[in-house]
Amino acid sequence: METNDEHIIRKSVQQISAGKRLDAFLAGYTRLDGLSRRDTRIGIEAGLVTVNGETETNPAKRLKCGDEIVSSIMPTPLPTLYPNDNLSFDVVFENDDLLAISKPAGVQMHPAGNDTTETVANWIASARPEMSSVGGDRLRPGIVHRLDRNTSGIVVLAKTDESYEILQELFRERKTEKTYLALVVGHVADLSGTIDYPLAQRTGTLQRQAIKDLDSFEGETKEAFTSYRLKERYDGCDLLEIFPKTGRTHQIRIHLAAIGHPVLGDNLYGGRRMRKAGMPERQLLHASRLSFPFKGQQMLFESPLPSDFTDFLAGIDVVEKPGYPGEASNRQGEA
């Protein structure tokens, strides 16, 4: 039985949440009261949470199926998500569990900074108000994964809490298969390859960095793996298919920059250095395909390249025969 009495939260741990940390599990519900995971952790450490009737002050405690959680952490003023009836996105797929859309470049996933009304979350609040509480975060209803503002492509949203937890586990356990298309500066040396540099936050900035020499780096890093394959060669740039195996922030953009081929138009990681006539004012990165198992079915969602991307490609020359030793080739029979 699950009930809410004023600010008291009572939850029974279901099998799908077994093994989760207490703070992570509870944060999904305390966020409904405007509390961050940090606020929830502080509340746990202050003795405001019980597990099976006993006070638990360890936020990292692993939960078991059937555990009874009671939280008396006081809420803070709730944030407001404003519906925006003027937003419209292409719906690729929808059923009772899932909603897949094609996100255009220039749109954030959820309110942040000065952008509080022109996001995917604002569209959800208007077009699918029944999803408003899915996932436990009022500002990110149903949002399990994200694309950068200036990256276009496929996004899958959860329409129920059950679907949200299933998708969370799929992304966390790397059971999703993602494909991106990226137009990069210069020509890659190999037809295909894998980049495995771990990533770290640059102190005091929004940037991350690829760490090529772990022995000389003292900060915290996270493993990251990105595979790529040459799809088409153009004058001064390559169109690559990208297959990220992990889902770190800015991972694709950082990894491609680290091997000397930043995404064209990426102002943050170096792709701004090569400008061409008619080039869109954004990084030319597109999430084209997403596949994963869901309730006994293999789901597959695709999003075609948007017109700003295809129009730009149509205006630059294809290279039929690469011209220097060691360069990757897109000649017939070698692609």
Annotated catalytic, 96?
A: no
* 142 exposure class (CB count in 10 Å sphere: 0-12, 13-18, 19+): buried
Closest CA to 332 of 319, 320, 318, 314: 320
Return d(Cα 104, Cα 112) in angstroms, integer.
17
* 107 exposure class (CB count in 10 Å sphere: 0-12, 13-18, 19+): buried
Identity of the residue numbered 203: T
Q: Pick the catalytic residue from 67, 148, 266, 308.
A: 148
* CA dist list (Å): 172 to 55, 169, 195, 246, 249: 29, 5, 20, 9, 14
* CA dist list (Å): 98 to 92, 143, 155, 159, 293: 11, 11, 10, 5, 12
Return d(Cα 244, Cα 227) in angstroms, integer.
6
According to DSSP, residue 83 is labeled -
Residues serving a catalytic function are 148
